Chains A and B, each alone.
Chain A
Amino acid sequence: MPIISIKDVSKLYGFGDATTVALDEVSIDVEAGEFVAVMGPSGSGKSTLMNIIGLLDRPTHGEYMLSNRYVSKLRSNQRAKMRRDKIGFVFQSFNLLPKLTVLDNVALPLMYRGVSTVKRLQRAEDVLDRVGLKDRQYFMPKALSGGQVQRAAIARALVGDPQIIIADEPTGNLDSASSLIVMELLSELHRTGNTIIMVTHNPEITRYADRVVYMHDGCIVHDQRTPVGEVPALAKKAMYVYPRKTEEDDLAGVSAMMDFRPEKPSTKKRKAKAQAKRRKAAKAKRSADA
């Protein structure tokens, strides 16, 4: 039984001519204990997929089953609780709260579970010990190096014993030495049975994953299992096919994701528009086939 089961999930932003398809009927199953690396150019829908898997967002269409529970229709508070209990996030930009100590940052998810202060600080200390930052627990995040901050962020993701760890370009803001340490840490977590889904632009670090998924234009174009420690051939090629992230890509990605995002059209309207668009697309396809 896969821990994540996504079936025909689409995510649309905007409406009318400005509709952007961020995810186009994506289906993927992830088994417990897998380390999935998701690759793809900016604007290919990786982040959107991560947001949906991480329950930060809801799919426009399709079904999402997380550990045997349908979660695609959950309200934001129910999603928050699922996030709290089942998912740990590691962000590219670390996202530790600058005004809290490392220890408090790591203990934060437990606070929202209602764990008592003493217990959660103990637990946080244990986890920090595991990532090798026990001696830095009372430091403020800004006093740590990038690699250390990211390890603290991983500790925060781990502290609640999540079923899935979602890492969105965890090494994107790190130098290669720090990247290595962070990746070794994630790899060790994988070995101890954690399920990790990681977005990356860097083909080199796919060597830590045992499955690599390629996305393009909101679709999964390739999905392969690879032995841990090997960079798959396609990932190497992807280095050249998909240019590494530049500022221009960044802007393109942002504009694709944000600029056309409307304030908040009603769900009904959105659905109707999406349906109309799909019908139109199907028609166009049929005429092309003919």
Chain B
Amino acid sequence: MHSGNFKVAYKTIRESRWQSSLTMFGIVVGIVSVVTIVSLGQGIKKQIIGEIKSVGSDLITVRAGKGVKRDTNGNIQKINPDFVYGFGSGTLNDRDVAIVEGSAGVKDATPIRLLNGSVIADGREYADGFVLGTNPSLPNLLQQKIEYGSYFSTGETARQVAVIGKTVAEQLFQENVPLGQVITIRGQDYIVRGVFEKFTSNPLGQGIDLNQAIFVPAPSLKEIAGTAAPVIRVLARPQNPNNAGNLASQISNSIKESHGGQDDTTVLLQSENLQVTSSVLDKLTGFIAAIAAISLVVGGIGIMNIMLVSVSERTREIGVRKAVGATNRQIRNQFMAEAIVLSVLGGVIGIFASFVVNFLIKVTTDLSPVITWPVVVIAAVVSISVGIIFGTIPAIKAARKDPIDALRVGN
């Protein structure tokens, strides 16, 4: 295509400023929505991954059910999205806990027992929370600090003491000091002896807010709730962080062996957890971006519309150009160039506007979108292809006009 085409196209577009800017607006909106949504997704992903990383990448999580498919090298091939959100279904048993705790090279390990249901304190009921039974090593495993009081120690595992999350403390005791207060769980009184600092991450899974949890010693919870408080996770940390992978596969094999060779548990490293979570987030972002991309198609149709109008408005010009010797291809290229200039201009403005929108989001909300280069490149490529795709039909229409008819128009 001749570079002169683009000059002429730019000139023509400038001459019909209103029409062109409205057309470009369609593309701009499309690009902005796609780029913004993808960058929001990237920002959220970055945030979540940061949180997961804060727990330490050598944390090993054992859970029931088969959530990932591994290839022969042990790398994750496929991930069940159910594995990312919530507690999941299926439980582990005491024998599994014993295997993890007894594995060579494990520094700390704890089962997580879950008891759903409301707790009562001061005659006030708190129904949003859940009770988790753990070993004293939990704060170490999650690398989480206690704000007031302390976590229960090894000697207290049979006693009825509780450590509560920040939200629980605020909801149940409001401005009162929670330490020393009594919480009733299934008719049993537990004395609050500690309050966690605010959890900034969700190490047990997305959607599980540990700020709403009441932590009690696992043996005592087992005593009052029995099988109603099943083991939903076993957490472990290796003595040597570099050995985490080996330890994970060792634990996995031992459990498999004790289950009679059936591979019905999943042992994930925190680093793999990261992979699982980011894959699900990517899918989600992709899905929403695809919806946003519809607006790009609409923008493209806008371009096609304006080009069709332009072709019929300029029939006479086409006639003159053909009379002085323009071939069909030269006419087609001229109109294609116009469509491409329109969409590229729209794309450039759109990318620029995305950065502005991005900045505004950062300033006005607590989200932190991240614009990555691939997104910008894809947006640029998309806008050019929109121009080519939707410019083709009008351009072909223009090229096929009969010069005699075209010259007669408006005569």
Contacts and interface: CB of A to CB of B under 8 A. Distances in A.
Interface of A: 51, 54, 56-57, 76-77, 80-81, 83-85, 89, 91, 93, 95-97, 99, 108-109, 111-114, 117, 156, 160, 258
Given A56-B403, A56-B404, A111-B4, A77 B325 contact: no
Interface of B: 2, 4, 11-12, 15, 316-317, 319-330, 403-404, 407-408, 411
A84 B329 CA distance: 14
Contacts of A109: 324-325
Contacts of A111: 2, 4
A95 B323 contact: yes
A77 B12 CA distance: 25
Contact of A89 (B316, B317, B323): B323
Contacts, number: 62
A110 to B, nearest CB: 9
Given A56-B323, A95-B316, 7 more contacts: A77-B327, A80-B325, A84-B324, A85-B325, A112-B327, A114-B2, A258-B408
A91 B319 CA distance: 12
A54 B328 CA distance: 17
Contacts of A54: 323
Contacts of B408: 258
Contacts of A112: 321, 324-327, 330
Given A97-B317, A99-B15, A113 B4 contact: no
Contacts of A93: 411
28 contacts: A56-B407, A76-B328, A77-B328, A80-B322, A80-B325, A80-B328, A81-B325, A84-B324, A84-B325, A89-B323, A95-B319, A95-B320, A95-B323, A95-B407, A96-B320, A97-B317, A99-B11, A99-B12, A99-B15, A108-B321, A109-B325, A111-B4, A112-B321, A112-B330, A113-B325, A117-B4, A160-B325, A258-B408
Contacts of A77: 327-329
A89 B322 CA distance: 11
Nearest to A80: B327
Determine which residue in A80, A111, A112, A156 has the highest number of CB atoms from chain B within 10 A of its CB, and name it: A80
**Shortest 10 CB-CB distances between A and B: which pairs?**
A84-B325, A109-B324, A80-B327, A112-B325, A95-B320, A83-B325, A77-B327, A112-B326, A56-B403, A89-B323
A111 B5 CA distance: 10
Given A77-B329, A97-B317, A156 B324 contact: yes
A95 B410 CA distance: 11
A76 B329 CA distance: 11
A80 B12 contact: no
Nearest to A98: B317
Nearest to A84: B325
A80 B320 contact: no
A117 B404 CA distance: 28
Contacts of B320: 95-97
Contacts of B411: 93
A91 B329 CA distance: 24
A108 B324 contact: yes
A114 B317 CA distance: 19
A159 to B, nearest CB: 9
Contacts of A114: 2
B404 A57 contact: yes
Contacts of A83: 322-325
Nearest to B319: A95
Nearest to B326: A112
A91 B12 contact: no
Contacts of A81: 325, 327
B376 to A, nearest CB: 33
A51 B404 contact: yes
Contacts of A108: 321, 324
A89 B324 contact: yes
A42 B252 CA distance: 97
Contacts of B327: 77, 80-81, 112
Nearest to A86: B325
Nearest to B322: A80
Contacts of A89: 323-324
Contacts of B328: 76-77, 80
A12 to B, nearest CB: 15
A97 B317 CA distance: 6
B216 to A, nearest CB: 81
Contacts of B329: 77
Contacts of B321: 97, 108, 112
Contacts of A258: 408
A120 B268 CA distance: 72
A146 to B, nearest CB: 15
A220 B253 CA distance: 103
Contacts of B324: 83-84, 89, 108-109, 112, 156
Contacts of B404: 51, 56-57
B314 to A, nearest CB: 9
A154 to B, nearest CB: 13
Nearest to B321: A108
B184 to A, nearest CB: 84
A263 B301 CA distance: 28
